[in-house]
A and B are shown apart, each in its own frame.
Chain A
Amino acid sequence: MKISEFKDILSGKVVCGAHLLDHDIELAFASDLMSDVLTITEDNVLLITGLANIQAIRTAEMSNIHCVILVRNKNASCEMVRLAEESDIVIIETPYTLFRTSGLLFNAGLSPIY
């Protein structure tokens, strides 16, 4: 699925990385615990999180994650946007909860890792 499709499903706003919206992603992981995200060994994973701070983007960088969805109207800070741009990471903000976001993307065909 292309990142642009998630954005539409989630009524999301792309904060940065608009040039990467054609990128395809098959797997998703939802967590606010970054150590848990760091256990992922698969590439090309979408991260859904309510953790809106710089460590969410650092974690994505270390885990080769190229798209981070911030749920429940959490906003990306300037620091997060700067790092995401440097690391080719798309940030999308959605008004939906972690549960609803995960459910919608699961229904749309994204697969869980475990």
Chain B
Amino acid sequence: MMEFSFEINGGDFSNAGMISSLVKKTLKQLNIDGMIIRRTVVALYEAEVNIVAHAYSGVVNVNIFPDKIKIKLTDKGTGIADIDLAMQQGYSTASPAVREMGFGAGMGLPNIKNNTDELNLESTVGVGTMLEFTNFFEPK
């Protein structure tokens, strides 16, 4: 098993996606199927952008097992008041700065859901959000 841990700073748009890039390189070296790599890094990249856009700071834990990859992102931030609403395509609370970076159209969480096999999202308003997802290397 491989385990990595990274920190993300809120507002740090220049580095959003760096963890996804490292995970992509690692999964390629492990000869994981290209479509599974793409699904995993698209979900992780959207999740990284979410922390940069909405939180003060965050921690990303990546665990690679022989049959799956499990990624947990925990942030300190404003949290999500209504998770069902946030999961709807088109709903967004993003700032103009986030939109200028090419995001903030309310597609992030739906994109994450579409690209993951298992997804768990928990949030407390004023405290932060925990998003955890798993992708299997072989179809279940």
Which residues in A have some Cβ–Cβ distance to B below 8 Å?
A: 32-36, 38-39, 41, 43, 49, 51, 53-56, 58-59, 61-64, 79, 87
Across chains A and B, which 6 residue pairs bring their CB atoms closest together, nearest first?
A: A35-B107, A58-B17, A34-B102, A51-B102, A62-B41, A38-B42
A/B pair count, beta carbons within 8 Å: 70
Residues of B near A54 (CB, < 8 A) are 13-14, 17
Chain B min CB distance to A88 (Å):
13
B13-44 with Cβ < 8 A to chain A: 13-14, 16-17, 20-21, 24, 34-35, 38, 41-42
State whether A35 touches B17 (Cβ < 8 A).
Answer: no
Instruction: Tell me whether A61 and B102 are in contact (CB under 8 A).
Output: no
Specify which chain B residues have a CB less than 8 angstroms from the CB of A36 in the assembled complex.
105, 107
Residues of chain B at the chain A interface (Cβ within 8 Å): 13-14, 16-17, 20-21, 24, 34-35, 38, 41-42, 45-46, 49, 100-103, 105, 107-108, 111, 114
Q: Tell me if B102 and A62 are in contact (CB < 8 A).
A: no
> Judging by beta carbons under 8 Å apart, are B16 and A35 in contact?
no
Q: B41 and A79: CB pair below 8 A?
A: no
Tell me if B105 and A33 are in contact (CB < 8 A).
yes
A62 CA / B103 CA spacing, docked (Å):
15
Q: By DSSP majority rule, is chain B's interface helix, strand, loop, or mixed?
A: helix
Known: A51-B102, A55-B16, A62-B20. A35 touches B46 (CB 8 A): yes
22 contacts between A and B (CB under 8 A): A33-B103, A33-B105, A35-B103, A35-B107, A35-B111, A36-B107, A38-B42, A38-B45, A38-B111, A39-B111, A41-B38, A49-B102, A55-B49, A55-B101, A55-B102, A58-B20, A59-B102, A61-B24, A62-B21, A62-B41, A63-B38, A63-B42
A35-B46, A62-B42, A63-B42 as given contacts; A56 in contact with B21, CB under 8 Å:
no
Q: CA A53 – CA B24 in complex, angstroms?
A: 21
